[in-house]
Structure 1
Amino acid sequence: MSSSVSDPVSSTPKPAPGLEKAPPSPPSDSDDEQETFHDAATHFSPEDEATLLAECNATKAEANSLFAQKDYAQAISTYDRALSSCPNYLDYEMAVLKCNISACHLYLEDWKNTIDSASEALENLERLDPLPKPSRSNKQQQKQQQRQKQNGTAKSTRGNLGKETSSNSDDTVVVEIPADEDEAVALHRLSHSDARLADIRRIRIKSLLRRARARHRLATWSSLTGAQEDYTLLLSLHNTTTTTPSSSTRTQTIASNDLKTVHDALARLPAEINTVKEKEMGEMMGSLKDLGNKILSPFGLSTDNFKMVKDEKTGGYSMNFEQGAK
């Protein structure tokens, strides 16, 4: 299902982003894999888990209908009910619900809750498909590309960004079918794993786009910096090629309209960040000055009595006291 995220600086919302549907969970290859993240005591029997998932999916369908009717506030409450039915160790199903909740908050222009819900969805997805940690050389390359864009000297390299093969260790592992497993069953299991991996990465892109837009619209120094990080990550994920559990290759792409949003936002954000940074720094210094005046006033002094003088040789500052300053 295609993703639609409107321009982060546009005041008019675009059509609502599509909701996600969680397919039935494929059988796990190993119970120990889940135990890594969740206490065994939180796991339900297969029968109880199936009952809870059926209840969760029925409630989610109700929430989807409310979303389609643009009753976003009621949809959020209904998605929350679905979450309460979903076993908390089913990270993908939890992520889908939280991603849908972030979409509701986005259209209510509740930027903070959009960010929180999308971040929670991303945490669930990270446990299922951890993002490779960028190497030192990749970080330096990204910084250099960002400087080039800010200086207006970036060459046409957008089509090449993110095409490096993922460094996940699974990419180099040969998939072998266990001797005691039927080949048809094994191939079915691997195809389900491939489909689930594609779903995970699709939901990750949606969650990142929603969080980035909300951070951009929140427009604080911290949130704008976070939006820049999200958009940069999205750009690195576009056209990334990885090897799936069945040893086939899959290329991760971002829809063209969303990719345009990413490029446009990254072009604007450096200047916006600097403007908001200066504004917030000025407000902070003003607050500190007011506090200092309250402390000094009983002594007949004010912050105007203290002047910061820069040493041109060392670049450091010294403070001079002036008795008659006002």
Structure 2
Amino acid sequence: MASSQEVPPNLLLNPRANVLSSASAPLSTVPSTNTTTTQPSTPITLSPEEEQARLTAALSDKKLGNTHFTATPPDYEIAISYYRSALEACPPNLTEHIIILHANIAAGYIKLKRWKEAEDSATNSLTASGEDDEILRLKEMKKRKKEEDEKKKSIEQGKDAAGSSTGSTVKDTSDGRIEEIEDEEEESIEWGKNWKARLRRAKAREMQNTWQSLAGALEDYKILSSNRFQPIPTVDRKTIQQALTRIPPILEEKKNQEVAEMMGKLKGLGDTILKPFGLSTNNFQMVKDEKSGGYSLNFSQNNK
């Protein structure tokens, strides 16, 4: 263990500076609770020599991280610190390396059972690969809008809209729908290669065991079960299918539990507010109108 004289003063302020149990670990990248790697706000231009030098440094740190990850015994903290150092060195345009490094950090946090940090790191990996939830939702919305527009054009013009747009590729699907894909999007329309990061995020979310995290885990497992993820090994597909069976009843139970807790807190707050008036929340009852399906609030002076 490095002495205080051997550790730079700025690291002494870090509450987890003692994770540097290896004298060779990169001192500038102590693992922290913030798993987001800061990227330059504006693109930087590197010469071929600079890019190669930074890539070499990143791959060297990644290799050292892998060594600590698989050592006997393993040192996941040090492995994470090397992966972080590799991220700092890696040229920002080399996306494939950034995707893998974030996924490796997520794997390290899973081993340490630091579930929220594992989730955040896996999300960073998915974001880098263009496969995070919001990005996928926007793509799906854009695809649906294109399909609707094509149908409208076909109806209005009385003919197939298949060549109406220049600079685009038109694909005739098996059910007769016309799907238009812009040229610049043809390379990015295929997604699902980064299944390891999504599987790690699903596990990290499930282990947090809250209504919100379980719902997120279930969503990830459902995406993983789709045919978009062909390369997933059989053993991992079995894990995914088991999770799809296991999580829904737990999710429902957790939902009911958290809703009950929330309503209890709201009731307590309401009773505190109403007490000076000699009332309580028991004086107010929600009554459902069977015809309309709506609810009305009834007041009863006798309920205490």
| Per-residue deviation, residues 241-269 of structure 1 (Å, max 9, x unmatched) | xxxxxxxxxxx321111010111111222
* Larger Rg over CA atoms: 2
Q: For 1:74 and 1:292, how far apart are their aligned partners in 2?
A: 50
Aligned equivalent of 1:79, options 58, 69, 83: 83
Equivalent-residue separation in structure 2 for 1:303 and 1:267 (angstroms): 39
Which residue pairs with 1:53 in the alignment?
55
Q: 1:41–1:116: structure 2 CA closer, same or farther, 3 Å change rule?
A: closer
Query: What is the total number of aligned residue pairs between the two structures?
Result: 224
Whole-angstrom distance in 1 between the partners of 2:295 and 2:105: 50
Listed as ranges, the gaps of 5+ residues in structure 1 are 1-37, 137-166, 175-192, 241-251
Map residues 164-313 of structure 1 onto 2, 5 A cutoff: 169=181, 202=193, 204-237=194-227, 252-313=230-291
In the TM superposition, residue 87 of structure 1 has moved relative to its aligned partner by 2.2
AA of the residue aligned to 1:84: E
Q: Deviations over 1:247-292 (max 9, x none)?
A: xxxxx32111101011111122222221111111111111111111
AA at the equivalent of 1:257: V
CA distance in structure 2 between the aligned counterparts of 1:321 and 1:84, rounded to whole angstroms: 63
Could you tell me how far 1:170 is from its partner in structure 2? 9.2
1:43–1:87 contact (8 Å) kept in structure 2: no
SS in 2 for 1:320: strand
Give runs of aligned pairs for residues 126-137 of structure 1, distance below 5 A.
126=130, 133=140
Shift of 1:325: 2.0
1:51, distance to aligned residue in structure 2 (A): 1.0
Are residues 41 and 221 of structure 1, via their aligned partners in 2, closer, same or farther at CA, if it must alter by over 3 Å?
closer
What letter matches 1:232 in structure 2?
K
Distance 1:277 1:77 in 2: 37
Q: Report the residue type matching 1:274 in the other structure.
A: E
Could you tell me which residue of structure 2 aligns to residue 9 of structure 1?
Answer: none
Q: TM-score, normalised by structure 1?
A: 0.61
- Relative distance call for 1:87 and 1:168 in structure 2 (3 A) is farther
Give the TM-score, by structure 2 length. 0.65
1:124 to 101, 104, 128: 128
Q: CA separation of 1:285/1:39 partners in 2, compared to 1, >3 Å: closer, same or farther? A: closer
Larger RCO, structure (CA 8 Å, separation 6 or more): 1
Q: Percent same amino acid among aligned pairs?
A: 43
**One-letter amino acid matched to 1:233:** I
**Structure 1 residues 39 and 303: CA distance shift in structure 2, 3 A:** closer
Quickly say closer, same or farther: Cα 1:39–1:47, change in 2 above 3 A. farther
Shift of 1:88: 2.4
Specify the alignment match of 1:315 in structure 2: 293
Give the deviation of 1:106 after TM superposition: 0.7
